[in-house]
Structure 1
């Protein structure tokens, strides 16, 4: 299906070329080794050639349809985007009826489901070179991972954040991932923050809000900056939007106003586009926008800070 959706309004510094048309396809990829089917949503920019790839991971109770604003903006800016849906921590937790809060609590405290998420990413990375329809369309030397909430935890973990109990035989940080975008970052649990974050080496964009609290993990808005504060690697950017809550970044269809509110979507997408374009596409205006504190993106009360950005 060809999509020619209206692009999010990006700052003039990022709108130097027209938004690309995007081809969307919904697929299911089967991991036979785990007897597990993964729903996928693939967005490919109609730019020709091999595009850098961004993997998108939804939060607890989400789906491949979530984070749509981010997937569309990145694809229109020249990045291939693959939305992963993680069975066991997806929208089946609330669509099947019953006590939703209990189902969500059971899922988020189940270590096997956290491991499933990690293995989902490993499976996708292993599978990408073998997908004939993607031959020549992806630059597999430039792959980023992005996610919201539980998806942000996955981003941080795949890029090297230590978790109690060790890596369970996995090769972490995942060497095929070169950058991360964490929306509503998750502070490390069970380990000192500096120890938990000290092997993260990839550039990361961290985005949160002054009201970004969640009822499952008890994480406060202030604690969302802990990963940024404790990663010593260069290329870190932290944005804090005034008034943004936990659901402000989710864009999860059918979940109600709190999770579908679009007030912060354009700002989040603009920063993500600038971050990856400056990192991988040699985009000088995007690099300048971040280095100058993104005044064209932020609104009154918002804050942005960075460390180790390339000049």
Structure 2
């Protein structure tokens, strides 16, 4: 009787299993189990699975026996036949996997706007025994489990659920599974389209056979210039910032680096060192309202939200403030003025820093698009909308975030589909590169990079795709207890060292071309040269054009 809703759920689990690298698949398998069978019971003795007028119960005791002994009861066996052995094994393991989160951090997050948005959507699928939305019950169960000696496991959350029964809406679960499945299929088709477009460009490039891997090696290698790191004092900016200044005889083009949520000045420092060694002055900003310190304060109970909505305005303004302050100091210091070229300024940012990059490059906040995209639906797979939708809390009139000094930009794992939309992206009039990871579960490739790329109007535009890359592939290693929040190895993805070498080579070629005006570097920004840089562990594809019509054909 319950076969129909399980088919799309099983397909979804299989798709997720095949899509990501094994460590990431395992982590996501736990998340899917929590979302689909989901956050049940304290004194709850039964989980009721509802599909239309049909209803069937599974004793919580049967789940505990299965988790600890691997024995399927008759009730569980009736459902088990709809899942593969690997899916069942992942579910059994996930019941007892402990999340390394204390009661204070998890409580803080679940009371933030982002945490409450997730609870609201999850509560539509998981309800109390009285058929009320599970919002409050889920939050209570998770917090109680985190405070318990047994720890925050799915099984312990079941035991702590504060109603005698839990009801899971299988119709809604199946609908979500189908919608997520469609999204994954569309993303796979879009990625295949990009790869085909890149191959066609290589075939039609008469200079493709002249490319040399030795050129790429030199781009990724340390440059010829010595440099010094100068911490900028509060007289320059009232937030932490470093200036990497090369020892060259002419004024150096300037590149500003903007970290993502939970990062700091060390997050992209490897790029600062690399670009400085090749003759760029690099200003590395630390955004206090969304840095590692902000997240630490949130987890410690000293802050009540992930970021304030005002941070979406404050970040680009901090970049403007930094450039203004450097210009003032250069005007008072002829030696510094001779080393900085304020006519050629670029910016590179990752994640929330990539949003910052787009905003200061000219993309304007698009309130009508936000109103149509928010609040986000649970089936969108786009976690970044939880941050983008904060912009609706901003005043109707915001300061001008664009800066005419910015002449070129690279946005790695950007978010902007809702906060900028098509109209916002089309206001960008400088050379721009979007960098995407096919396995990015925070800012999904299709929604946040591939589709927005088709909205760009400037001819000098690039979309670089890392097949298998995640949201964290290009970040520098964080030392626990120092600086940026460390990222668990299970979600970093394959070969992050290779991803960082890619970004060193690509960012150098891009900024040499569009900031330093060295045309000899332009050939490196072609699909043929990028294919030489590509390695099997993390394949690369580059496209310079893609139309909405081409993308629409594979999204159907």
TM-score (norm 1): 0.83
Sort the Cα spacing of 1:115 and 1:16 in 2 relative to 1 into closer, same or farther, 3 A: closer
Aligned to 1:89: 290
Aligned to 1:211: 439
| Paired residues for 1:64-103 under 5 Å | 64-96=265-297, 98=299
| Paired residues for 1:18-167 under 5 Å | 18-30=223-235, 37-96=238-297, 98=299, 106-108=305-307, 110-131=308-329, 132=333, 134-165=336-367
Alpha-carbon distance between aligned partners in 2 of 1:68 and 1:17, rounded to the nearest angstrom: 14
Aligned to 1:182: 411
Sort the Cα spacing of 1:113 and 1:305 in 2 relative to 1 into closer, same or farther, 3 A: same
Alpha-carbon distance between aligned partners in 2 of 1:240 and 1:56, rounded to the nearest angstrom: 20
Alpha-carbon distance between aligned partners in 1 of 2:428 and 2:345, rounded to the nearest angstrom: 16
DSSP 3-state at the match of 1:286:
helix
Sort the Cα spacing of 1:129 and 1:240 in 2 relative to 1 into closer, same or farther, 3 A: same
DSSP 3-state at the match of 2:276:
helix
DSSP 3-state at the match of 1:44:
strand
DSSP 3-state at the match of 1:247:
coil
Alpha-carbon distance between aligned partners in 1 of 2:459 and 2:298, rounded to the nearest angstrom: 45
**Offset, 1:304:** 0.7
**CA contact 2:245–2:276 (8 Å) conserved in 1:** yes
The C-alpha deviation readout for 1:53-82, integer Å capped at 9, x for no partner, is 001001001111111121111111111100
**Offset, 1:208:** 1.6
The C-alpha deviation readout for 1:284-303, integer Å capped at 9, x for no partner, is 44211213342332224321
Aligned to 1:196: 424
Sort the Cα spacing of 1:242 and 1:15 in 2 relative to 1 into closer, same or farther, 3 A: closer
Aligned to 1:279: 514
* 2:216 is equivalent to residue 11 of structure 1: yes
Long gaps (5+) in structure 1 = 1-8
**Offset, 1:122:** 1.6
Alpha-carbon distance between aligned partners in 1 of 2:419 and 2:266, rounded to the nearest angstrom: 32
* 2:444 is equivalent to residue 220 of structure 1: yes
Q: How many residues align?
A: 288
**Offset, 1:41:** 1.4
Sort the Cα spacing of 1:234 and 1:26 in 2 relative to 1 into closer, same or farther, 3 A: same
**Offset, 1:185:** 1.5
Sort the Cα spacing of 1:16 and 1:93 in 2 relative to 1 into closer, same or farther, 3 A: closer
Sort the Cα spacing of 1:129 and 1:242 in 2 relative to 1 into closer, same or farther, 3 A: same
Alpha-carbon distance between aligned partners in 2 of 1:164 and 1:185, rounded to the nearest angstrom: 16
**CA contact 1:67–1:252 (8 Å) conserved in 2:** no
Aligned to 2:199: none
Sort the Cα spacing of 1:147 and 1:16 in 2 relative to 1 into closer, same or farther, 3 A: closer
The C-alpha deviation readout for 1:151-188, integer Å capped at 9, x for no partner, is 00000011111213488453343211111110112132
**CA contact 1:48–1:137 (8 Å) conserved in 2:** yes
Sort the Cα spacing of 1:96 and 1:80 in 2 relative to 1 into closer, same or farther, 3 A: same
Aligned to 2:459: 234
**Offset, 1:252:** 5.2
Match of 1:294 among 525, 530, 546: 530
**CA contact 1:63–1:252 (8 Å) conserved in 2:** no
Alpha-carbon distance between aligned partners in 2 of 1:10 and 1:116, rounded to the nearest angstrom: 40
Alpha-carbon distance between aligned partners in 1 of 2:297 and 2:318, rounded to the nearest angstrom: 22
RMSD: 2.9
Alpha-carbon distance between aligned partners in 2 of 1:232 and 1:111, rounded to the nearest angstrom: 29
Report which stretch shifted further, 264-273 or 287-296: 287-296
DSSP 3-state at the match of 2:544:
strand
DSSP 3-state at the match of 1:269:
helix
**CA contact 1:293–1:304 (8 Å) conserved in 2:** no
Alpha-carbon distance between aligned partners in 2 of 1:237 and 1:24, rounded to the nearest angstrom: 31
Alpha-carbon distance between aligned partners in 2 of 1:73 and 1:17, rounded to the nearest angstrom: 6
Sort the Cα spacing of 1:187 and 1:256 in 2 relative to 1 into closer, same or farther, 3 A: closer
Higher strand proportion: 1
Sort the Cα spacing of 1:14 and 1:73 in 2 relative to 1 into closer, same or farther, 3 A: same
Sort the Cα spacing of 1:295 and 1:58 in 2 relative to 1 into closer, same or farther, 3 A: same
Aligned to 1:6: none
TM-score (norm 2): 0.48
**CA contact 2:287–2:318 (8 Å) conserved in 1:** yes
Report which stretch shifted further, 262-271 or 274-283: 274-283
DSSP 3-state at the match of 2:467:
strand
**CA contact 1:14–1:286 (8 Å) conserved in 2:** no
**CA contact 1:128–1:134 (8 Å) conserved in 2:** no
Aligned to 2:73: none
**Offset, 1:99:** 5.6
